[in-house]
Amino acid sequence: MAKLYNILLKNGDGIAVGFSALMFILFGVSVYLGSTSGGYDLSTLTDMPDKSNVNIFNVGLYTVIILGFIAVALTIFGILWDIFKNFKTGSKSILGFGAIVVAFLGFYFTSAHDSGGRFDAYWSQDPFYITEGLSKFISAGLYTLIALTFVSFLLILFYEVKSFFK
């Protein structure tokens, strides 16, 4: 376990960036190949009246779902590991994870249900069945993602400036 930790400590950023690039390329190739084999052009995809047979985004969607479950499982495992190893840092991890859950719930209960428009085919119709609750869940997830990205950017900026003046 210590060897793995040392490897990730030394090369973790490169591994994460490489894996992200690999997932981006896999998604892009699957969208391109899926659109050409499906017989439609990507530039006219949003103008199609019936989007129910469009499945070119499935590889990306399934990858995000699987990686999301892995991330949540590793977060919970890491929190439990921190609690057993060092209760002080473990309690901070619980507070951080709790803050993310509270932010998500806040965004969920304040999100509006969007319907109609050019995405009218997706709302509560076969095969998508996007209900009001699911629409709010998607919005809350996107708002949480945006908020966490913004906070991460500010923290990176803050600590880089702080380390520059040390």
**Which DSSP string do the residues of 25-52 spell out, in sequence order?**
HHHHHHHHHHHHHHT--GGGGGG-S--T
Q: Can you tell me the mean pLDDT for 67-75?
A: 87
**Interhelix angle 87-110/132-164, nearest 10 degrees:** 130
pLDDT band at 146 (very low <50, low <70, confident <90, very high): very high
CA–CA separation, 164 and 113 (whole Å): 45
Residue 112's pLDDT is: 80
pLDDT at 126 over 70: no
Is residue 35 within 8 A of residue 56, CB to CB? The reply is yes
pTM of the model: 0.57
Residue 46's pLDDT is: 67
Q: Can you tell me the mean pLDDT for 129-156?
A: 88
Residue 106's pLDDT is: 95
Q: What is the residue-averaged pLDDT of the chain?
A: 81
Span 94-103, pLDDT tens digits? 888 889 999 9
pLDDT at 45 over 90: no
CA–CA separation, 79 and 134 (whole Å): 28
Report domain extents, the chain: 111-166
